Amino acid sequence: MPDISTLALFCVATLGLLVVPGPAVVYIVTRSVTQGRGAGLISVLGVHTGSIVHVAAAALGISALLAASATAFTVVKYVGVAYLVWLGVRKLMRRDDGGAEPLEPQAQSKRRLFWQGFVVNVLNPKTAIFFLAFLPQFTDPAAGPVGPQILLLGLLWMVLGMASDGTYAMLSSALAGRVRGSSRVRRRLDVGSGLVYLGLAAWLTTEKA
């Protein structure tokens, strides 16, 4: 297993990466602002349940297959791109009639919030490639099998990710009342989120296998 100094370095590097907003953070912040803290925290759970898929894939070597196979990478990449485009277009096309009803927590069920967060993270090829390129740098073949080391690092990444994303959910939900009170702010949030989703989709199309 990695030693304490390696784990500490991994934690610092991971936190540096986690604080940079990506598709999961955008999803969590949007749900927290529009539907409240509970919705945001459920979204965090969904996102990091999706992380389990990437951790297991990295530990079993599936991420290596994605990196080695241009066809497999392309398929996964464009499924993720299509989903981001769909989310972005929905945000840009959304009409705000000035009422508060669309922003109530009942707008989406807890189960749907959870599974949407799960899908957002699972269909993100950047996350799979992240585990392939990042985690192995902190493993040591001399310390034992690499698979269990990647599993340990992946689980540690999930714990830090839940803390980071949970902070995003708590802070953004604190602004929910102000945002709900202004249709202009809500519309700007939708447009901003939609553009971020579309920008991320465009960026992913440039990623090479």
pLDDT, tens digit, 9 for 90 and up, residues 144-174 = 777 788 888 989 999 999 999 999 899 888 8
Domain boundaries, the chain: 4-204
Alpha-carbon radius of gyration of the chain: 18
One-letter amino acid identity for 111? Answer: R
CB atoms within 10 A of CB 175: 14
**What is the reported pLDDT for 105?**
40
CA 62 to chain centre: 19
Contact of 158 with 30, CB cutoff 8 Å: no
47 pLDDT tier (thresholds 50, 70, 90): very high
pLDDT, tens digit, 9 for 90 and up, residues 73-131 = 677 667 767 877 887 788 788 765 544 444 444 467 888 889 988 988 888 766 776 77
Structural tokens at position 177 = 């009342």
CB atoms within 10 A of CB 102: 14
